[in-house]
């Protein structure tokens, strides 16, 4: 009887501690250091269009990265460390990857309620040599005892005249084991950016994308 009471006490204690830690979690998305396997010296205009259903219907904020669950499974929003929309942080990471390879990448902010054609027209008006448009169809992290992340990104490389030169997709569901005692929260602060880096690198280093961007 005494052991059962102690076990229940520890379970409740851990649940309370995990709930407290789960509130206000922020992920450093813009700082993701993706690697790109090509060099260039020209102007690339970059934007990401967030088409996640819960962003479109406004049930989650544009800064939403995923959820972190407390010890009883109750979810709390995890958002971007920058305070900017998730889509803009994704674009910033891509710009950083391109700029490190000699490109002159510039970020254009677009709102989720624009259509794809409206966004392309806006990007083409910036007179870049190439346009990179990322469509975020899915991205959500879920940190509890384990970490689960699902994503689906589409990248389109567009010429000055509006011709789509290359398309790439990065889609996956990833599970990273955590601990039944401490959960996956601390681990997720490293793994969520790492998983995003993998997704971005899959897009940028698609052979068709590399081919049409590696032109000076």
Q: Is the pTM of this model over 0.85?
A: yes
Q: Could you tell me the pLDDT band of residue 8, with boundaries at 50, 70 and 90?
A: very low
- Residue 74's pLDDT is 86
- Residue 16's pLDDT is 43
**53: which residues sit within 8 A by CB, 6+ positions away?**
none
Residue 34 has pLDDT above 60, yes or no: yes
d(Cα 20, Cα 30) in Å, to the nearest integer? Answer: 26
What mean pLDDT is predicted for residues 15-25?
A: 54
Task: Using CB atoms within 10 Å of the CB of residue 15, give its burial: 0 to 12 exposed, 13 to 18 middle, 19+ buried.
Answer: middle
d(Cα 8, Cα 53) in Å, to the nearest integer? Answer: 39
CATH architecture of 2-213: 3-Layer(aba) Sandwich (3.40)
Higher-pLDDT residue of 115 and 8 is 115
Q: Where are the domains of the chain?
A: 2-213
- Residue 216's pLDDT is 60
What mean pLDDT is predicted for residues 78-103?
A: 98
């Amino acid at each position: 009887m005494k052991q059962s009471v102690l076990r229940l006490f520890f379970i409740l204690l851990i649940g309370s501690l995990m709930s407290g830690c789960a509130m206000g979690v922020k992920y450093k998305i813009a700082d993701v250091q993706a690697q790109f396997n090509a060099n260039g010296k020209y102007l690339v205009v970059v934007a990401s269009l967030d088409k996640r259903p819960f962003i479109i219907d406004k049930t989650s904020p544009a800064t939403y990265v995923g959820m972190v669950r407390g010890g009883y499974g109750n979810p709390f929003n995890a958002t971007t460390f920058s305070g900017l929309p998730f889509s803009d942080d994704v674009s910033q990471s891509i710009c950083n990857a391109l700029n490190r390879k000699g490109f002159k990448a510039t970020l254009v902010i677009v709102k989720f309620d624009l259509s794809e054609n409206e966004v392309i027209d806006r990007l083409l008006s910036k007179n870049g040599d190439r346009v990179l448009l990322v469509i975020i169809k899915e991205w959500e992290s879920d940190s509890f005892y384990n970490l689960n992340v699902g994503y689906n990104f589409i990248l389109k490389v567009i010429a000055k005249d509006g011709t789509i030169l290359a398309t790439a997709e990065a889609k996956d569901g990833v599970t990273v084991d955590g601990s039944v005692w401490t959960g996956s929260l601390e681990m997720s602060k490293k793994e969520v950016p790492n998983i995003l880096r993998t997704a971005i690198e899959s897009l940028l280093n698609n052979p068709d994308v590399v081919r049409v961007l590696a032109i000076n």
